[in-house]
Structure 1
Amino acid sequence: MKKKIAIIGSGISGLSAAAYAAAEGHAVHVFEKNATPGGRARQFTTENGYTFDMGPSWYWMPDIIDNFFQDFGKQATDYFELISLDPQFEMVFSQENVSVPHDYSEMKTLFEHIEPGAGLRLDEFMSAAKYKYEVGMRDFVHKPCYSWFEFMSPKIASSALKLDLLSGFRNYVKKYFKDPKLISLMEFPVIFLGASPRKIPAMYSLMNYGGYALGTWYPKGGFYELVKAMKSVAEEQGAVFHFNQPVQAINCGSDAVSTLVINGVEHAFDAVIASSDYHHTETLLPPSLRNYDEKYWAGRTFAPSCLIYYLGFRQRIPNLKHHTLFFEHDLDAHIDSIYVDKAWPDKPLFYACSPSQTDNGVAPDGHENVFLLMPLAMGVSDDEATRERYLLDMIARLEKHTGATQLLDKIDYQKSYCVSDFMQDYNAYGGNAYGLANTLSQTAVWKPAIKNKKLKNLFYTGQLTVPGPGVPPSIISGKIVATEVNKLNIQSYEKAV
């Protein structure tokens, strides 16, 4: 039976859910509190000619992203041009810089140069990572995770040991490599999962395969091209989008959501999918109807927040790659500042993205577009003076690396974004940027449930539920939830609605 479905939020998971639900013939309405779609993947332009992606910038796992478009008879490249980055990125260490090439044979040569024998061990590592990727991203992550019985298929059961669910990622990497630079290179991808490599299961070496082996890409025009494409697909299926429309309350009958209050007006729906922040969504419900209380959320391990600077320079910056990771300081010390001290770091690591190195359309001629990101503890005070202090540190290191001088004097656009902004724009719990960390105790069934336990027609999708943080997992999350909503028998809710 066809349903009238509300989707709260138009982040990646909301866009995905909208497309899949509308494709089933349901009347799908997406309500977004902000003026544009995309959630953390929004984009903005400046009066002086810069275009900035606000969040995601690493286009990894291209096959998973393309699967979304193929489900609707399309290809990602029907909507945007994908550019392969070579090098994929550069890592800056205290004594040496390492650029990771696109070509896998060149990557093997690089590893062998750094550590004799590491080239062959890279083959072994990637072979195991490919297996985890194929099982994990094609079987493991597509479950709604109501019960562990979902994982009792012969294929998953036979793969349990090879998936390395109970091994720590750091110790796993050290079985293959000894050189600190190679260890950092292999540990870096799991930072996207929001926890220390000491806490992440070794299964997530699949990230190395999804990134390094499948390549790092860039959609010409910016990552927002993916958002626009997904919105187009959803609209082609019949989904309708409503912007500047915050959901203020969720009204309920005896066992189901009855109406949403949107900009002060009540609207009735047969089912609701919340792509909004999970914790915030539940604050719109009476405490007795929430899946989790405040104590539960306080006990979760969240991925970090971050300090971001969007910078425009009225000159080109030499020797700068599209993606550059500044790892001159100790990774564990920075991670401890996030999870142990819960304070601003003394010697931070950071990431620089300069899409104008690849795409002339994101900055005026002769100018540079640079995005600086520094992982940060949730909930810290983020006044402008503190933000500026870290900007000065990052600019100094950028100058040292590239040989550019007096970059501060060359800035003709500057905007910062931090903890309080994530809270304001996305209702993000504690100002987190990436959702829940993918630790073992927060995997699969142990993640927040995709379905409300007391309201039969309220579902949750996105980075705080299954399968986890990141753009490809969020796409999958939207598909999982749309499938579950499609199974609903609307007749059982008629009295409540």
Structure 2
Amino acid sequence: MKKKIAIIGSGFSGLSAAAYAAKAGNEVHVFEKHDQPGGRARQFTTPQGFVFDMGPSWYWMPDIMDKFFADFGYKTADFFDLISLDPQFEMIFADKKMNVPENFEALKLLFEKTEKGAGVQLEKFMRSAKFKYEVGMQDFVQKPCYSWLEFVSLKIAKSALKLDLLTNFRSYVARYFKNKQLRTLMEFPVIFLGASPKNIPALYSLMNYGGYALGTHYPRGGFYQLVLAMKNVAEKQGAAFHFNNTVEKINTENNKVTSLQINGSNQEFDAVIASSDYHHTESLLNEAQRNYTDTYWQKRTFAPSSLIFYLGINQIIPDLKHHTLFFENDLDEHIDCIYEKKKWPENPLFYCCCPSKTDDGVAPKGKENLFLLMPLAMGINDDETLREKYLKEMLARIEKHTGINDLLSKIEYQRSYCVSDFIADYNAYGGNAYGLANVLNQTAVLKPKIKNKKLDNLFYTGQLTVPGPGVPPSIISGKIVANEINKIYYETAI
């Protein structure tokens, strides 16, 4: 007998959970407080004709997305055109520029040119990273993580030493490369996992393989095309979406969720999957029914928040790539401001995305679409004066790089997004943008549990639980939770 399941939120984990839960024959309803799906990956269009993805812009680990669609009999190409970027991105240092090519052999030549012997070292690094990726993404991250016993398998046991769980990422990279810029290039992918490279396990060199080796891609029409495609798949399985529907309370009786209060009225369900912020979801319960206390959350290590600007520029900007990383300043100094000092950085690093270099549909002809992002400590003051100060600094560095003068006067559209906006729009704990950090003491079984310990039919999915932050892990998280429900009710998994 099919079950009636509610999913709170339509971010990537919610979309994934909806598709897998509906495929098993459940009656699935997705409730989203906004007027469109996607959560942090929403999209908006301005009156001037600019189209902005609000969140994710790095399409890495394409095989994870391919696997999602394949599970339902589709291909990624059935829904959108995926463009492989070349160069994948450009990294700006104080004294040089480094373009990361699409082709791995060309990447080896770049490394060799920068440091003698580094081309061979990159090949060794990526061979190991590929192994971690295959074990990590196919086995390690697919577990519900109730117990360490889930990891007791011959394959994982044989792989344990090669996974480098007890080595920190910085030391690991330093084994291969001496050049500081090459080290920074290799450390960059783990920054958004939520901690300094010196605190992230070397296991996450799998990120380098999932990015640099598998390539950096872009869905024509914007990252939002992935959202629309996943929603389409979920609907084809029978899932129903309800927008402008805010879940205000989780009602319980006899150790079960009985109903949700949505826009002031109660609706009954057999089970609930919360793709919403974990801490916020628990605030909708009585205190005694929560998995974790406020003290628990205060002691967690979170990934950064961000200062984001969406800018429409009224002219073409030469010499700017689709993705550009402005790393002229010291990486550790900025990281310390995020995790240790918890203050605005004095000498920030930032990222610029200019999708109009690849896609003429995201900006009017002869104009550019800019997305600027600066990683930031969560929970800090983010008033407009501070936002504007950093906008001017970022624009000045883009001007220096491209030779364009007075970009500020060429802004046709401007919108900022920061800590307080993440709280207002997503109920994000402390205004975090990416979830919990993937430090060792918050890995696998040590992450917040996917199942409520006191309520038999309440589950959690997304970046604050397993397997962790990022789009591919969130998609996997939705599948894990849907499978747990399917095993309970149908003794089967997809």
Q: Same fold (TM over 0.5)?
A: yes
Identify the residue that residue 493 of structure 1 maps to in structure 2. Answer: none
State the distance in 1 between where 2:36 and 2:171 align. Answer: 43
Gaps of 5+ in 2: none
Identify the residue that residue 176 of structure 1 maps to in structure 2. Answer: 176
CA contact (8 A) 2:60 2:215 kept: yes
- Compute the displacement of 1:195 (Å): 1.1
Identify the residue that residue 63 of structure 1 maps to in structure 2. Answer: 63
User: Number of residues paired by the alignment?
Assistant: 490
- Compute the displacement of 1:486 (Å): 1.1
State the distance in 1 between where 2:192 and 2:348 align. Answer: 16
Q: Structure 1 residue runs of 4+, over 3 Å off? A: none
- Compute the displacement of 1:488 (Å): 2.5
**Root-mean-square deviation (CA), in Å?**
0.6
Identify the residue that residue 328 of structure 1 maps to in structure 2. Answer: 328
Identify the residue that residue 390 of structure 2 maps to in structure 1. Answer: 390
- Amino acid in structure 1 at the alignment position of 2:363: A
- Amino acid in structure 2 at the alignment position of 1:434: Y
Identify the residue that residue 10 of structure 2 maps to in structure 1. Answer: 10
- Amino acid in structure 2 at the alignment position of 1:380: I
State the distance in 1 between where 2:482 and 2:89 align. Answer: 35
State the distance in 1 between where 2:233 and 2:489 align. Answer: 26
- Amino acid in structure 2 at the alignment position of 1:176: Y
- Amino acid in structure 2 at the alignment position of 1:363: A
State the distance in 1 between where 2:124 and 2:461 align. Answer: 35
- Amino acid in structure 2 at the alignment position of 1:153: S
Q: SS in structure 2 opposite 1:175?
A: helix
- Compute the displacement of 1:382 (Å): 0.5
Identify the residue that residue 230 of structure 2 maps to in structure 1. Answer: 230
Show CA shifts across 1:373-413 (max 9, x none): 00000011111011000000000000001111111111000
Identify the residue that residue 86 of structure 2 maps to in structure 1. Answer: 86
- Amino acid in structure 1 at the alignment position of 2:234: A
- Amino acid in structure 2 at the alignment position of 1:263: N
Identify the residue that residue 484 of structure 2 maps to in structure 1. Answer: 484
Show CA shifts across 1:6-62 (max 9, x none): 000000000000000000110000000111100000000000000000000000000
Identify the residue that residue 124 of structure 1 maps to in structure 2. Answer: 124
State the distance in 2 between where 1:192 and 1:344 align. Answer: 17
- Compute the displacement of 1:237 (Å): 0.2
Pairing 1:361–2:361 present: yes
Q: SS in structure 2 opposite 1:198?
A: helix
- Compute the displacement of 1:100 (Å): 0.3
State the distance in 1 between where 2:64 and 2:156 align. Answer: 19
State the distance in 2 between where 1:280 and 1:267 align. Answer: 20
Show CA shifts across 1:161-190 (max 9, x none): 000000000000000000011000100011
Q: How does 1:56-455 map to 2 (within 5 A)?
A: 56-455=56-455
State the distance in 1 between where 2:399 and 2:54 align. Answer: 23
- Compute the displacement of 1:489 (Å): 4.1
State the distance in 1 between where 2:135 and 2:192 align. Answer: 20
- Compute the displacement of 1:192 (Å): 2.2
- Amino acid in structure 2 at the alignment position of 1:198: K
Q: SS in structure 1 opposite 2:267?
A: strand
- Amino acid in structure 2 at the alignment position of 1:123: E
Identify the residue that residue 494 of structure 1 maps to in structure 2. Answer: none
State the distance in 2 between where 1:156 and 1:268 align. Answer: 41
- Amino acid in structure 2 at the alignment position of 1:108: K
- Amino acid in structure 2 at the alignment position of 1:312: G
State the distance in 1 between where 2:440 and 2:271 align. Answer: 31
Identify the residue that residue 495 of structure 1 maps to in structure 2. Answer: none
State the distance in 2 between where 1:121 and 1:182 align. Answer: 11
State the distance in 1 between where 2:371 and 2:221 align. Answer: 15
Show CA shifts across 1:445-473 (max 9, x none): 00000000000000000000000000000
Gaps of 5+ in 1: 491-497
- Compute the displacement of 1:198 (Å): 0.7
State the distance in 1 between where 2:111 and 2:226 align. Answer: 33
- Compute the displacement of 1:349 (Å): 0.3
Show CA shifts across 1:465-496 (max 9, x none): 00000000000000000000112249xxxxxx
State the distance in 1 between where 2:171 and 2:488 align. Answer: 44
Show CA shifts across 1:213-268 (max 9, x none): 00000000000000000000000000000001000000101111011000000000
Identify the residue that residue 456 of structure 1 maps to in structure 2. Answer: 456
- Amino acid in structure 2 at the alignment position of 1:313: I
